[in-house]
Structure 1
Amino acid sequence: MKKFMVSGGGTGGHIFPALAIANELKATYPNCEIEFVGAQGRMEMERIPREGYTIHGLPIVGLNRQSMAANLKFPVKLIRSIAHCRKILKSFQPDVVIGTGGFASGPLLYVAQLMGIPTVIQEQNSYAGITNKRLGAKAKAICVAYEGMHQFFPKEKVHLTGNPVRPAILNSNTSAEESKREFGLDLNKPTLLVLGGSLGARRINEAIESLIDWAKEKDVQILWQCGKLYYEALETKLGNHPGVFLHAFISDMNKAYACADIILSRAGAGTISELAIIGKPTILIPSPNVAEDHQTKNALALVEKKAALLIRESEIDSRLEADLERLLQDEPRRKSLSEALLKLAIPDATQRIVKLIEPLIK
């Protein structure tokens, strides 16, 4: 019986690809066994079991880049996690181990490589993190979503597969009219979709709040995922504001995308892969608070292809209103952005990854 072990977590950007790969492996090998490894206390420990998979939790934590004192326990937790990975791998004996990122991926892939178990890395970003760069030397295959990734990894191991995208996005046939009705939007007004991630983005929320009068003047409605950390305060402040449709979190993203005429978003790798499938004109505002500033690098990869606009967070107050207004008034520009973005889509990414895993099975 074929066995696979998958690790990916911390954020949806790591969990969704891990689940997509696991589900595709299950479809390809119906009798296979799949187990996950995650970090204790992180969202994968709840999300993965809901999908019907067993998950093992490691005591691993990430490095705190703001406080060195907070890292004092890191070496101990890393050593304990490595020891736990060895026990898990000896017990389960997987044919292949796949890592999609997150705190637990590093220890698991490291131990698997020491034990001679084939490993596959799925690097979502345009700039590889330190852990994946180190693990790449011994990985059997490295699946990437951007060109030029051989600068981080051995060239012969790098495969341009794209990032797995949720089936609900890939297979969506929802119409804009139907989706607007579901969200209570005006069918005839242009819609700005604002996405700051599941927790929200303070600076994006502040900027959108300051744009509400402008949006009313321009007859633009705002479908706004503000994040659960900010929802209550914004709802109290805005009340039932006409033209502003506030949500802590939008679960039916395929319907939200269908509503949008322009999208304002962070630049996480998973989100960018979804945006490429959707092909709507997009302004990216990367988070500056991520490792290696990888969101800015993700955004720049699209800007170089003329597939999106980029506003740095430090420029948001001076540029956002003007850039939005220009884009609203420039239909040819919106069309060219959409066409360029659609060219970057890789809808069969998950299948490509599984095909690379197949030759590694004993």
Structure 2
Amino acid sequence: MRVLIAGGGTGGHLYPGIAVAEEFYKQDSKSEVLFVGTEKGIETRILPKQGYKLETIPSGGFVNKDLFAKMISGVKIVSGFIRSFSILMRFKPDVVIGVGGYASVPMMSAAVMLRFPTVILEQNLIPGLANKVLSRIVDRVIVAFEGSKKFFRRDVNVFGNPVRQVIIQNEYQPGGTFTVFVFGGSQGANAINRAVAESLGHLKTEAGDIRFIHQTGEKDISWVKEAYRKAGIDAEVSPYIYNIEEAYNKADIVISRAGATTIAEITACRRPAILIPFPFAAHDHQRSNAEYLASLGIVEVILEGDLNGEKLAGKLKYFFKNRDILKKMSGKSANIYNRNAAHDIVNICRALAGIK
């Protein structure tokens, strides 16, 4: 089966696509998967390392941009649309899957015009404008949350977000040194980095029994490393963690943004978390994602406007002393994540393509 997966830009869009690609190969080792993204997206770094084929097209977005930037994006989208035709005619996929991100719109539009079977995945509780528009023309819409159905004027499938098997296979086994995994998404998050650095001075009594794994992004790596050194707290600090499953496996608790893929991963591997939603996400969808999990007792939420080192340290001290609560939070995660999400998505795609 020939599969084209369009989108990316951030890990939040890319990794669900990789999870689906894994499942296609699992069901049929002779499958051919081609990713289509943009030159500046994270996919250009990640996919070659994992052995996947990637082609890039021009594209752009419109959210939170001025008029001139929107005009430039419009030109890029038209160019990407034309380039998409060429890729589709050459690759001739049995199904085209949009996972979100700038490359998704021109490719999915071209695929619809050429009458290839099409599927879009919506990872967030509140869908973005692009997927709302695409939902009117594609063959199938698959969402992660039951609450997302009301935003679409058509039937949708609710399967959850697909997560890679190496993450799903992680078991939660707290014990020993209390390990905190910090990351602000694939780009890093300065506000989270600063709050964590400020929290270290409040964790002196725990210094010998607490350690951090911290993905900072490229810009903050030097001064964050220095903050841990000055505080005398053990830490693995990296600009980007390629084998994120290893960090999850070691973590007692996660501190992160609240993108849909992140919350899918932490629930899939049942890691309790302190979520700090990105306040400028479209439609404030990260806050919706985080508050949904908080209502189920799976995570704690700190809004960025309320975030500071003292408050964050207070949360960490509480969980450090009450690890039984972390175990309860972990147990609740097991009840909400669909571990068969990728399998269900691939079955829909195979049926749509007429392949058993």
**TM-score normalised by L of structure 2:** 0.89
The corresponding residue for 1:221 is 210
The corresponding residue for 1:74 is 73
The corresponding residue for 1:361 is 353
Distance in 2, matches of 1:50 and 1:191, equals 27
The corresponding residue for 1:89 is 88
| Aligned-residue offset at 1:197 | 2.4
- Change in Cα spacing, 1:32 to 1:333, as seen in structure 2 (3 Å) is closer
The corresponding residue for 1:182 is none
The corresponding residue for 2:38 is 39
| Aligned-residue offset at 1:240 | 6.3
Distance in 1, matches of 2:331 and 2:227, equals 38
| Aligned-residue offset at 1:238 | 4.2
- Which deviates more from structure 2 when the two are superposed, residues 262-271 or residues 59-68? 59-68
The corresponding residue for 1:235 is 225
The number of equivalent residue pairs is 350
- Change in Cα spacing, 1:360 to 1:68, as seen in structure 2 (3 Å) is same
User: Of 306, 316, 330, which residue of structure 2 is paired with 1:324?
Assistant: 316
The corresponding residue for 1:309 is 300
CA displacement 1:335-362 (0-9 Å, x = unmatched)? 3322222212222211111011111114
User: Of 197, 217, 223, which residue of structure 2 is paired with 1:209?
Assistant: 197
Distance in 2, matches of 1:348 and 1:111, equals 30
User: Of 157, 171, 186, which residue of structure 2 is paired with 1:198?
Assistant: 186
Provide the secondary structure at the position in 1 that maps to 2:307.
Answer: helix
Distance in 1, matches of 2:5 and 2:98, equals 6
The corresponding residue for 1:57 is 56
Distance in 1, matches of 2:312 and 2:232, equals 21
Residue 119 of structure 2 is aligned to residue 120 of structure 1: yes
Distance in 2, matches of 1:218 and 1:174, equals 22
Provide the secondary structure at the position in 1 that maps to 2:41.
Answer: coil
Distance in 2, matches of 1:52 and 1:206, equals 35
Provide the secondary structure at the position in 2 that maps to 1:211.
Answer: helix
Provide the secondary structure at the position in 2 that maps to 1:72.
Answer: helix
| Aligned-residue offset at 1:278 | 2.2
| Aligned-residue offset at 1:49 | 3.6
- Change in Cα spacing, 1:251 to 1:56, as seen in structure 2 (3 Å) is closer
User: Of 153, 158, 161, which residue of structure 2 is paired with 1:160?
Assistant: 158
- Which deviates more from structure 2 when the two are superposed, residues 46-55 or residues 132-141? 46-55
**TM-score normalised by L of structure 1:** 0.88
Give me the CA root mean square deviation.
Answer: 2.4
Residue 326 of structure 2 is aligned to residue 334 of structure 1: yes
The corresponding residue for 1:180 is none
Which sections of structure 1, spanning at least 5 residues, go unmatched?
A: 178-186
- Change in Cα spacing, 1:102 to 1:331, as seen in structure 2 (3 Å) is same
Provide the secondary structure at the position in 1 that maps to 2:181.
Answer: strand
- Percent identity between the two aligned chains: 32
Provide the secondary structure at the position in 2 that maps to 1:148.
Answer: helix
CA contact (8 A) 1:174 1:255 kept: no
User: Of 284, 303, 315, which residue of structure 1 is paired with 2:275?
Assistant: 284
Distance in 2, matches of 1:246 and 1:34, equals 34
- Change in Cα spacing, 1:321 to 1:153, as seen in structure 2 (3 Å) is same
- Change in Cα spacing, 1:263 to 1:237, as seen in structure 2 (3 Å) is closer
| Aligned-residue offset at 1:174 | 9.1
The corresponding residue for 2:129 is 130
Provide the secondary structure at the position in 2 that maps to 1:347.
Answer: coil
- Change in Cα spacing, 1:297 to 1:233, as seen in structure 2 (3 Å) is same
CA contact (8 A) 2:200 2:231 kept: no
Distance in 1, matches of 2:180 and 2:53, equals 39
Distance in 1, matches of 2:52 and 2:312, equals 43
Residue 336 of structure 2 is aligned to residue 348 of structure 1: no
Letter in 1 for 2:22: N
The corresponding residue for 1:184 is none
